[in-house]
Amino acid sequence: PVTIQYGDIHTWDMKTGKCEHTLRGHEGAVEAVSTCIVDGKTKLVSTSSDTTVRMWDAETGICERLFLGHEDRVMSVACVTIDSQVKIVSGSQDGVVRVWDVHSGDCEHILQGPESTNCMLAPAVLKEELKLVVGFQSRFTNAKNSELLTIWNLQTGKCEHSIPIAKRFDSVFSFQQNGEIIIVTGK
C-alpha cells in the first residue's frame, strides 16, 4: 500500500494501477500540477500552499528545481513555450503571477494583480501570439468590483486588456473559435 502524506504527489501506472513514484518535498497542500517537456524530457511542475513551485523529473521522481518568490499559497500553474523556450507560469494568492525560466530558476516577469486576489491561469494563442489569460478574484466574498479578467503578453510581461466582471468565478479556461479567443469562467 502507498503511504500518503500531506504535500505528496503520486504518479501511477495506468495499466497496473501501481504507484510509480512518490514525490516528496512540499511542506503544504499541493494546489496544482502541470506537465512540460524540457530538453526532450517530461517534467512535472507542482505548486503548493507552502508558497513554492517545484519541477520534478517525471521518470525518476527527483525534484530538479525549486522556484521561490511567492508570498502566499500558489494556486495555479501552466507551462508555456515562448520563442522556443519553456517557461513556467505560476499564480498565487499574493495577487502575483510569476513567469519563470526553467533552466536558471529565475523569475523573468512579475504580473501584478489587485491585492488579496487568487490568480487563475489559462494560456491562449491570439493571432499566432502566445498570451496568458489571468483571472484575478478577491479572496473576500463580499468585495465589490474585485473580479478581473486580464490578457497578458508573456514576451513583454505587460497587460494588454483588463475586463472587470460582475460574477465570481472559480476557474478560467480559454479556447480559440473562428480566430477569436473565447474566455470561459466557471463557478
> pLDDT tens, 60-101?
999 999 999 999 999 999 999 888 889 999 999 888 999 999
- What does the alpha-carbon distance between residue 148 and residue 139 come to, in Å, rounded to a whole number? 12
> According to the model, what pLDDT value does residue 78 have?
92
Segment 127-135 shows an average pLDDT of: 78
Report whether pLDDT(155) > 70: yes
Q: At residue 122, does pLDDT exceed 90?
A: no
Apex 31 CA angle, 61 and 167, nearest 5: 150
Read off the pTM.
0.84
What value does the mean pLDDT take over residues 109-121?
A: 80
User: Does residue 143 carry a pLDDT above 60?
Assistant: no
Distance CA 26, CA 137 (A): 25
